[in-house]
Amino acid sequence: MIDGVKIKQLKKFNDDRGFFAEIIKFGEETFCEVKQTSYTETFPGVIKAFHWHKKQFDVWFVCRGNAQVVLYDKREDSATRGETQVIFSGENNPCLISIPPGVAHGYRVLGNEVVGLFYHTNKTYDPANPDEERIPFDDPSINFDWTTKNR
């Protein structure tokens, strides 16, 4: 596991009306002060990767479909520098993923359904000065194989 990445397994409270789940909650280790929440939907077969931030924390919640989330530690002073972490997240494994600055992140849509992703950030997006750096999904320095491994 990459140093500083926090994962919260979500608990669903089900009854005959549906379910309820707490996502972000003050006092938990995955909490960050939320300054902006955004939502994106991504079509089957798409890979959205990689990007990273110098100052911003991202807290991701895949609320629809399933995704293979891939993290790569770029931080020079990190004990886990150069490590990759893969998290299966979505309807079949509801979890919250807290991603610290300096950790590159991206995802691949799994299956034939759209992925819906909420991401909460501790900074607001400034189009004049964006805190976002991009890395190609197939960058050789990360060297991640996005294909599904049949077992």
The domain that contains 54 carries what CATH number?
2.60.120.10
Determine, yes or no, domain membership for 139. no
Number of domains composing the chain: 1
Instruction: Please state the separation of Cα 67 from the chain's center in Å.
Output: 9
pLDDT tens across the length of the chain (151 residues) = 999 999 999 999 999 999 899 999 999 999 989 999 999 999 999 999 999 999 999 999 999 999 999 999 999 999 999 999 999 999 999 999 999 999 999 999 999 999 999 999 999 999 999 999 999 999 999 999 999 988 8
Structural domain boundaries, residue 18: 6-124
Determine, yes or no, domain membership for 136. no
How far apart, in whole angstroms, are the C-alpha atoms of residue 95 and residue 78?
24
CB-count burial class (<10 Å; 0-12, 13-18, 19+) for 11: exposed
Determine, yes or no, domain membership for 86. yes
* Residue 129 CB partners (closer than 8 Å, separation 6+): none
Model pTM greater than 0.85?
A: yes
- Main-chain dihedrals φ then ψ at residue 79, nearest 5 degrees: -65, -20
Rounded to 10 degrees, the C-alpha dihedral 44/12/27/24 comes to 30
Instruction: Please state the separation of Cα 86 from the chain's center in Å.
Output: 10
Determine, yes or no, domain membership for 13. yes
Determine, yes or no, domain membership for 134. no
How far apart, in whole angstroms, are the C-alpha atoms of residue 136 and residue 81?
18
Determine, yes or no, domain membership for 151. no
Determine, yes or no, domain membership for 137. no
